Amino acid sequence: MSSKSRPQWLSPDMAAYISARAPQPDPVLAALIERTREETGGAATMQVSAYQGSVLTVLTRAVGARRALEIGTFTGYSSTCIARGLADGGSLVCCDVSEEYTAIARDAWSAAGVADLIDLRIAPAIETLATLSADDPFDPFDPFDLVFIDADKGGYQSYVDAVAPLMRPGGLLLVDNTLWSGRVLEAADDDETTAVIQQFNDRLTADDRFDSVILPISDGMTMAVRR
């Protein structure tokens, strides 16, 4: 686990111990980490950690997900991990606004052999979600078994509101960065994003559509089950 991805709530020794006991990046994921670092500069910190990627694969497999949705794809690390965990016949809708970042993702999906499972939508995610209807009688919607949100923090609440009707009961919602480097404990006076995450966490805790917990994984990942 690099210092970048090591959560501050774990000692370096404990982080290394845990990381060593998770599946390690295969050559495709290792190359994607490297390419993202080389081609996106400082933005590379947006990529989920290798450990978190392994958690995503395990959770996708654990719920037997066949239909999955990702909001915030970047260069494709988390989507590759989710796609690898899908049940036979599974598919993953990916939402992002960047052609540039997702061009790297497309290469990674091809290298990983999961390109055929992925439906990439380039548009603001809230617009893409509006095209996915749960109640068109002429084109019955297949609800999502798993949703991963990792895009603009200001959109988090609207994404949860938009995806809730698109998820099956028992479906798993995962939301990244919900501890915001620990800043959720601080007064948010000077930081709009901290306030947004604090409000988001409080609303999801009280949201009667989900049973949710915040896991101290990476930068905090909320796991919520659709009722």
CB within 8 Å of 216: residues ≥ 6 apart: 7, 9, 10, 179
- Measured from the CB atom, the residue of 60 and 75 that comes closer to ligand SAM is 75
Per-residue mark of binding to ligand SAM, 193-222 (x: CB under 6 A):
------------------------------
Q: Decide whether 13 or 158 has the Cβ nearer to ligand SAM.
A: 158
* Residue appearing with tokens 């494709």: 76
From 28, 68, 117, 150, residue interacting with ligand SAM (rule: CB under 6 A): 150
Nearer to ligand SAM, 33 or 164 (CB): 33
Instruction: Say whether residue 50 binds ligand SAM (CB under 6 A).
Output: no
In sequence order, which ranges of the chain are alpha helices (DSSP H)?
12-20, 27-40, 50-62, 77-85, 99-112, 125-131, 156-163, 192-205
Q: Does 101 bind ligand SAM (CB under 6 A)?
A: yes
207: CB partners within 8 A, 6+ apart: 160, 224
**Which of 91/98 has CB closer to ligand SAM?**
98
Q: Other CB atoms closer than 10 Å to residue 91's CB: what's the count?
A: 16
How are strands ordered across the β-sheet holding 221-226? 118-122, 91-96, 67-71, 144-149, 167-176, 221-226, 210-215
Minimum CB–partner distance for residue 3 and ligand SAM (Å): 18
**How many amino acids of this chain bind ligand SAM (CB under 6 A)?**
20
Per-residue contact flags (x/-) with ligand SAM for residues 59 to 98, judged by CB under 6 A: -------------xxxx-xx----------------xxxx
Task: Single out the segment in contact with ligand SAM by CB under 6 A; choices: 60-68, 146-154, 186-194, 200-208.
Answer: 146-154
Q: Are strands 144-149 and 118-122 parallel, antiparallel or unpaired?
A: unpaired
Give dist(CA 72, CA 130) in Å, integer.
16
* Binding to ligand SAM, residues 124-143 (CB under 6 A): 124-125
CA of residue 131 relative to chain centroid, distance: 20
Q: Which residues bind ligand SAM (CB under 6 A)?
A: 46-48, 72-75, 77-78, 95-98, 101, 124-125, 150-152, 155
